[in-house]
Structure formats: C-alpha cells, structure tokens
Chain A
Amino acid sequence: MELGMKCFKRALWIYHMNTGSCNGCDIEIIAALTPRYDVERFGIRLVGTPRHADVIALTGPVTSDMVDKVKRVYEQTPDPKVVLVVGSCGISGGVFHESYHLEGPIDKIIPDGTFVYVPGCPPRPEAIIQGVIKAWEILEEVRGNGRTTQKTEGEKD
C-alpha cells in the first residue's frame, strides 16, 4: 500500500472535460501534450475516466445541459482533487457571459471546490503547464507529501 501511494504522489493525472467550450482551449491542452512541450516527462497525462484523476481540467462556460454532468464528474473524482479551469469563459463567462443557456461560471456549480484559474482566450500551453504546477503545489500541501515529510505520513494513515 505504501509503495502504491508513493507512485501516485508526483504524477498528476488529468481528466479533461469540455463544458461548452469553443474547442480553442481543448486544442491548447492537446498542444501541451505534444512533443513541443511534452508534459508527459512530468508524469502529467490525460486519463479517460474521472475515477483515475487527480485534477479535472474544465474548459468552457457551463451550459445548462452540462450542469449535472459537471457535478457528477466532480463527485466521481477521488479526494484530494483540484479543478483546473482553463480559459476565460470558465472563470467568469468571458464573451458568453450574458448568454441565455449559461448556468454561470464553474465555481457557481461547484461552490466548495479548490480551483486553479488559467486566464486567456485560449491560454498558451505554457500557461496551462504553469496552472498544473499550481495545482500540484496545492495537492502537495493537502497531502503533506514533500520528500521531507514522507516517512511519517504512512504511519498516520
């Protein structure tokens, strides 16, 4: 069990979900995975199900169709988790802010989540990598798994 926990500590697995985005931010997330930026050297990779993920990357303002899906995906992700909001429309609505089918920005749907916001329309891949590093920092604080405190942590659990 301890060995298993060690493996999960550093590599962040990301579940990407499009909540009504225009596909611009999705393309930039994929661009961060390509050989030009190659985030897989950090162990950051996209996974196919929220049950495997540490970070949920949400792009787009939440349309009324996606509200219950966002809630369900958020609940399926194991704790501790961070929601990475990519793009300006996830933060505040962006250009879609007055649209009739929006249920507000993402923090209105998940009021008690931990968020990292990446502004831009779309943000550059480096900005997304920086956002993931911010999320990593938060998760490290929550788990208390810096190299220095690693030995005592297994005993507590």
Chain B
Amino acid sequence: MRYTFIPELFRQLFSKPFTNLFPLKYAPASIKDTLDKIKKGEIEINPPVEIPDKEIFRGKIQYDREKCIGCGLCIKVCPAKAIELKKEEKKIRIYVGRCIFCGQCVDACPKGALSQGEEFLLADADKLNKEWVIE
C-alpha cells in the first residue's frame, strides 16, 4: 500500500508533456534572426494546438468573389457591421478588424459565397493591411 504511487510516477516520468510548444521550445537570442531562418526554412516552428472540429471552426472569412451577387443580406445580419457594399460593382468588402467571427453572414448568404477557413493567427501591426481587408 505504501508504494502504490510508483507506477504512476514512472508513467509521468516518461509521458509526453502536456504543453503545446508553439512556436518554439525556448526563447531565441534574437527573434529577427530566427524569423529570417524560418522564412528560409532552416528552422521549423511547432504547430499550434489542433483545431478540435474543422467543420464548425470559425476562422477568418473567405470570400468567393465570383459567386457574390451583391444582395446585401450579409450586411443586414452582421452584428458588428464589418461588411460594406461596393455599390457600383455589386460586391462586398469585409474588414477583419471589425469582424467578430460569428458566422452569421455565412449562414445568410444565399449563394454560398462566404465560408470560414481555419486561419486564426492574424496578429499584425497595421490595422488596414491587405490580409485584413477582404475584397
């Protein structure tokens, strides 16, 4: 009875740690050098935690320009008013900085032009960069 903890101890000694080592195991000496090396492909970053259910995950909105008919239903349902109508072209423009990733526009779209991807690593220093304005 006294040593019942020993099997558990051995199990924990050799089991994989629970921590997800995103993006690197330890802090590098210089982050800029490291980012350059990642771009060149010399270092690989550890992937983030896997998305639990890819079908219902709400990531960045993806817009299929060809399918859009410019009906404006997505603009009506958007609670954050992140979507803007371009009247001359009858297309929309989505601002990711305003979007709250609720997915109501995806449900409302009659033509299936909007969908939500798996991208969620979106941090940036510029508020209106190309990645954040979907046209």
Contacts and interface: CB of A to CB of B under 8 A. Distances in A.
Nearest to A10: B27
A146 B30 contact: yes
A137 B35 contact: yes
A6 B100 CA distance: 40
A130 B32 contact: no
Interface in A1-55: 10-11, 35-38, 41-43
B22 A126 contact: yes
Interface of B: 18-20, 22-23, 25-27, 29-33, 35, 48-49, 79-81, 95-102, 120-127, 132
A82 to B, nearest CB: 9
B30 to A, nearest CB: 4
B105 to A, nearest CB: 14
Interface residues of A, number: 45
B125 A119 contact: no
B98 A126 contact: no
B97 to A, nearest CB: 4
A11 B26 CA distance: 11
B32 A41 contact: no
A84 B106 CA distance: 29
Contact of A91 (B20, B27, B33, B127): B127
Nearest to A134: B123
A92 B127 CA distance: 9
B125 A116 contact: yes
B123 A136 contact: no
> DSSP class of B's interface residues: helix, strand, loop or mixed?
loop
Contacts of A10: 27, 29
A81 to B, nearest CB: 14
Contacts of B30: 140, 145-148
Interface string A78-99: 0000000000100111110110
Interface of A: 10-11, 35-38, 41-43, 88, 91-95, 97-98, 107, 114-121, 123-124, 126-131, 133-134, 136-138, 140-141, 145-148
A91 B128 CA distance: 10
Contacts of B81: 97-98
A35 B126 CA distance: 31
A91 B82 CA distance: 12
A118 B122 contact: yes
B123 A117 contact: yes
A149 to B, nearest CB: 9
A95 B31 contact: no
A34 to B, nearest CB: 9
Contacts of B80: 88, 93-95, 97
